[in-house]
Amino acid sequence: MPSNNGLLWGARGTGKSSLIYSVFNYVKEKYNIALLEIKRNQLRYINFILRQLNNIDQKIIIFFDDFSFAANSDDFIIFKNILDGAVSKNLNFLFYTTSNFRSIIQYNNKSSMDKIEQQEALDNETALSDRFGIWLGFEKFTNNQYLEIVNYYCLKFNINNDKNFINNKALQWSLNRGAKSGREAYHFVKSLHNKKI
């Protein structure tokens, strides 16, 4: 039975790609499945790649990590056509995409568009998002969520500094870096562990 394609979208550093890899590592022990990551600069070769994989008797997750497109760009049109053509032709292919944008489309200044352009932009967003049966959003972390991850990594690295000191330094780190995320929590604790803070 066919499965749904998935779009994981949201704030950077919140674990979208990590979740894909974790789930894949879990299911590959039980099922005959492979994961193939396609980089943005490889997108132009995707039809060739899929043709090479077409006769392999194995489920393959085609993973597009950290993708976004300018509306009506060539890459956007290629990507949309990939999801249309390959999905209908080969049930062994499953597409998962991560993006910092819910619609995968970046607009420089949507408010400056006229009504027709805004409708076209909406149609583009809908046309692309309709190709994903699974949507999973990752919101920005709260202070408490961020500090909880910091404290988890401190335990993992056996860092026993005063908790208030660590939390204050971690919050300052997040302000300097412009993000409260699992990735930044990890970077902070590594720097703390290496006594660079």
pLDDT at position 141:
92
Alpha-carbon radius of gyration of the chain = 20
* Helix pair angle (163-177, 182-193), 10° resolution: 120
Q: Judge whether 35 and 63 are in contact, CB under 8 Å.
A: yes
**Euclidean distance between CA atoms 68 and 106, whole angstroms:** 6
Predicted confidence (pLDDT) per residue in 81-110, tens digit: 887 775 557 788 999 999 887 656 665 555
More confident position, 23 or 113: 23
SS3 category, 169: helix
Residue 179 sits at φ, ψ, to 5 deg, of -160, 145
End-to-end CA distance of the chain: 53
Whether this prediction's pTM lies above 0.85 is answered by no
- Residue found under tokens 């894949």: 24
Q: What integer pLDDT is reported at residue 7 of this predicted model?
A: 92
Does residue 12 or residue 126 have the better pLDDT? 12
